């Protein structure tokens, strides 16, 4: 029993440590830029801290809401997500930042609908896969709806040129249907189709092609398109094993673009060294382990799939972000969960942890 009790505690502590590290790193990374742009070195960290507190409150709230709700509400939530994604294109509500149209504003709140859309897809899949457990080996309804319906959402996200999020979400979908027992040949077949489609898309959008080419050889254009990649390498290299010390990093001084968002791990690498990077990786592995444990112990199949999907969402995105900043994957524009600056992403990930805790609690109650 004590072992199981440990799970929620370890999960909460790991998550909160990452969040705290995020707040510290956002400050360390952004104060110079914040000072320059807004005359207030705390500009970014104040906002980030607000989101973190709100996120933790949401996490606690989510841990109290019975997860059965997500089964009952799976379709309404999915439809809402799709509506929000379409709202982006309505003038006055949707707006763009950083070259991509990804934001909507409702009253005082601005957020990226693609982040909660990930939750909606996972809710739907968990419900759908659990509901069709006996027909899972069939092409339809075992495979096709579980790919097509998320595919619509993913398509909408991809359309707003958020390739990173859509790829991450697609991967989560495939991981979930694989774990749920969908026939391997369907999965591989659709992956092949997807690859073809991707090839087509990449060829038609110059910025994606650029990203791939830069990934292949960032040194070809170190002053231009390879700049960000190389600056990231230089940050890691400067850090060595022990790092140059918190706040002492230099790459964030306008060299490394988006240092406080997508490339925050590079700054961790520079300031906290290999030890810091390994620590972050370790915490995500711990979260993965806890998530898997919760999934294994879930009292029903829906809880199992839900736990899987949420864990994948957090950990897969972490791995992808790390792969990008280290030059293992083409640049994609994905934040590092819990750490990167960015309110919507932080809150959605904390909600995911909250739901995991609820699944674990429900299991214990039984």
User: Are 331 and 215 spatial neighbours (Cβ–Cβ below 8 Å)?
Assistant: yes
273 binds another protein (CB under 8 A): yes
309 binds another protein (CB under 8 A): no
Cα–Cα dist 314/6, whole Å: 20
Interface residue with another protein, options 10, 16, 24, 274 (CB under 8 A): 274
Question: Could you give the C-alpha distances from 94 to 60, 89, 154, 165, in angstroms and in order?
Answer: 30, 6, 18, 18
Collapsed DSSP state (helix, strand, coil) of residue 349: helix
- Please report how close the Cβ of residue 106 comes to another protein at its closest, in angstroms: 28
The conformation of residue 138, written as its DSSP 8-state character, comes to: S
- The beta-carbon contacts of 216-225 under 8 Å, at least 24 apart in sequence, are 218/327
90 binds another protein (CB under 8 A): no
Beta strands in 10-99 (DSSP E): 94-97
100 binds another protein (CB under 8 A): no
Cα–Cα dist 122/69, whole Å: 13
User: Are 307 and 356 spatial neighbours (Cβ–Cβ below 8 Å)?
Assistant: yes
307 binds another protein (CB under 8 A): no
Q: Which is nearer to another protein, 81 or 229 (CB)?
A: 229
Determine the size of the site formed for another protein (CB under 8 A).
Answer: 43
328 binds another protein (CB under 8 A): yes
355 binds another protein (CB under 8 A): no
Q: Which is nearer to another protein, 49 or 100 (CB)?
A: 100
245 binds another protein (CB under 8 A): no
Question: Could you give the C-alpha distances from 254 to 37, 240, 250, 272, in angstroms and in order?
Answer: 11, 21, 9, 19
x-marked contacts with another protein along 225-244 as a string, rule CB under 8 A: --------xxxxxxxxx---
Q: Which is nearer to another protein, 226 or 343 (CB)?
A: 226
- Please report how close the Cβ of residue 251 comes to another protein at its closest, in angstroms: 7
Binding positions for another protein, rule: CB under 8 A = 32, 175, 178-181, 233-241, 250-251, 253-255, 269, 273-274, 277-278, 281, 284-285, 288, 292, 295-296, 304, 308, 312, 315-316, 319, 322-323, 326-328
């Amino acid at each position: 029993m004590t072992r199981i009790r440990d799970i929620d505690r370890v999960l909460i502590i790991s998550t909160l440590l990452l969040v705290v590290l995020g707040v510290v790193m956002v400050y360390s990374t952004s104060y110079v830029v914040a000072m320059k742009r807004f005359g207030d070195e705390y500009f970014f960290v104040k906002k980030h801290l607000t989101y973190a507190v709100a996120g933790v409150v949401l996490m606690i709230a989510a841990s109290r809401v019975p997860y059965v709700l997500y089964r009952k509400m799976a379709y309404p939530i999915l439809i809402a997500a799709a509506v929000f994604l379409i709202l982006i294109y309505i003038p006055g509500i949707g707006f763009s930042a950083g070259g991509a149209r990804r934001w909507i504003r409702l009253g005082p709140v601005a957020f990226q609908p693609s982040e909660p859309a990930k939750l909606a897809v996972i809710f739907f899949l968990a419900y759908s896969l659990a509901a069709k457990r006996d027909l899972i080996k069939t092409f339809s309804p075992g495979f096709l709806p579980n790919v097509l319906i998320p595919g619509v959402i993913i398509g909408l996200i991809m359309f707003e040129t958020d390739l990173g999020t859509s790829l991450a979400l697609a991967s989560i979908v495939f991981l979930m249907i694989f774990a749920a027992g969908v026939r391997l040949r369907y999965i591989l077949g659709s992956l092949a189709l997807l690859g073809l489609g991707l090839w087509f898309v990449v060829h038609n959008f110059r910025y994606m092609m650029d990203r791939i080419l830069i990934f292949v050889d960032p040194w070809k254009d170190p002053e231009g398109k390879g700049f960000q990649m190389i600056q990231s390498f230089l940050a890691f290299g400067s850090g060595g094993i022990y790092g140059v010390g918190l706040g002492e990093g230099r790459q964030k001084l306008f060299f490394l673009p988006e240092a406080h968002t997508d490339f925050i791990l590079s700054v961790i690498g520079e300031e906290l060294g290999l030890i810091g990077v390994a620590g972050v990786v370790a915490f995500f592995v711990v979260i993965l382990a806890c998530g898997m444990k919760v999934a294994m112990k879930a009292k029903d199949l829906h809880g199992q799939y839900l736990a899987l999907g949420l864990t994948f969402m957090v950990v897969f995105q972490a791995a992808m972000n790390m792969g990008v900043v280290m030059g293992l994957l083409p640049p994609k524009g994905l934040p590092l969960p819990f750490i990167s600056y960015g309110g919507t992403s932080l809150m959605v990930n904390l909600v995911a942890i909250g739901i995991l805790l609820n699944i674990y609690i429900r299991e214990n109650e039984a």
